Amino acid sequence: MIITEKLTKKYSGNFIALNSIDIKTSKRITSIIGRNGAGKTTFIRILSTQLAPTSGSASINGFDILKNTREIRRSVVSIPQEASLIGIMTAYEQVKLYLVARGFSFKEAGDQANKALDELDLREFKNSPADTLSGGMKRKVFVAMALASNADVVFLDEPTTGLDPISRLEVWSAIGRIGSEVILTTHYMEEAQQLSEDLILMDHGNVIEHGKPTELLRKFDGMLRAETHEERNDCIKVGGTFIRYIKRDDAEKYISRGFTIKQITLDDLFISMGVFLES
């Protein structure tokens, strides 16, 4: 369980990257969603004790991030967004070494590394040097480390960015099998909606929504999204598209006016709040 109280981070020049965040997570998988620069990585780095907050406090399973740094580092695994592997070492060697460094015996580390790499469909590439792996495969090696780590809490910063659709599914299914509490960031709303019981939507250093996907979408009950490419001043403009939320019963009326009708997705939470994701 993660609890934060007024957690704030100002970078040099007094830029506020996290603005007094109060949250409590206790679900198995929590997804943090937000556009570039929202503060997701800053948040994860502070919780995993890689970065100190400017003010406020946070705890993970009762351990304070400032006072119990050692306990947190022992019980938490954090896979950074820009993590890179050692080029000449094989996938198997890296996962094994990582586990040994976390206190596993050589035998246990080897067994767990094998199991995790198999599970992520990296069997064929186990003995290939990291330099010869594709970007997506490299991301999967990191997820294998988290999967095998047995940590209480795992932070994954954009584990599926840059993966092809199949690899992405494999990674998400592997994340579903991690026994730990998982906090991940993603730009893929659909996946977050499917995999997590808990969603945190961030923007400009603020948590703008937090809850179960189904609960967050409740305000759209009985509604649809109508969109058109024609300029309209009664719609929300997103790029070249003009969007409004309509009652289901009004769908025909909007179709006849040239609108296209779509089902509500998590994207609509952002759009309705004036926050637009890039992808």
Ligand X SMILES: Nc1ncnc2c1ncn2[C@@H]1O[C@H](COP(=O)(O)OP(=O)(O)OP(=O)(O)O)[C@@H](O)[C@H]1O
Q: Pull the structure tokens for residue 144.
A: 């294998």
Reading phi first (left if > 0) and then psi (alpha if -120 to 50, else beta), residue 6 is in left
Using the rule CB under 5 A, is 41 a contact of Mg ion? yes
- Chain CA centroid to CA 274, Å: 21
Using the rule CB under 5 A, is 48 a contact of Mg ion? no
* Residue 167 interacts with, from ligand X, Mg ion, none (CB under 5-8 Å by kind): none
CA dihedral 254, 256, 259, 262 (to 10 degrees): 70
Q: Which of 2, 7, 17, 266 binds ligand X (CB under 6 A)?
A: 17
Using the rule CB under 5 A, is 31 a contact of Mg ion? no
Give yes or no for a contact between 41 and 157, defined as CB atoms under 8 angstroms apart: yes
Binding region for ligand X (CB under 6 A) out of 36-44, 65-73, 169-177, 235-243: 36-44
Q: Pull the structure tokens for residue 219.
A: 């305000």
* Residue 37 interacts with, from ligand X, Mg ion, none (CB under 5-8 Å by kind): ligand X
Number of residues that bind ligand X (CB under 6 A): 12
Dist. CA 184–CA 175, nearest whole Å? 9
Using the rule CB under 6 A, is 40 a contact of ligand X? yes
Dist. CA 83–CA 65, nearest whole Å? 22
* Residue closer to ligand X (CB basis): 15 or 62: 15
* Residue closer to ligand X (CB basis): 81 or 241: 81
The pairing of beta strand 181-186 with beta strand 15-25:
unpaired
Q: In what helix (H) or strand (E) does residue 262 lie, and over which residues does it extend?
A: strand 260-262
Using the rule CB under 6 A, is 106 a contact of ligand X? no
Q: Pull the structure tokens for residue 20.
A: 């007094």
Q: Which of 34, 53, 159, 213 binds ligand X (CB under 6 A)?
A: 34
* Residue 226 interacts with, from ligand X, Mg ion, none (CB under 5-8 Å by kind): none
Proportion of the chain in helix, strand, coil states, percent, rounded to 5: 40, 30, 30
Q: Which of 38, 171, 178, 183 binds ligand X (CB under 6 A)?
A: 38
- Chain CA centroid to CA 151, Å: 17
Binding region for ligand X (CB under 6 A) out of 30-38, 112-120, 130-138, 215-223: 30-38
Using the rule CB under 6 A, is 41 a contact of ligand X? yes
Using the rule CB under 5 A, is 94 a contact of Mg ion? no
Give yes or no for a contact between 146 and 77, defined as CB atoms under 8 angstroms apart: yes
Contact residues for ligand X, defined by CB under 6 A = 11, 15, 17, 34, 36-42, 81
Contact residues for Mg ion, defined by CB under 5 A = 40-41, 81
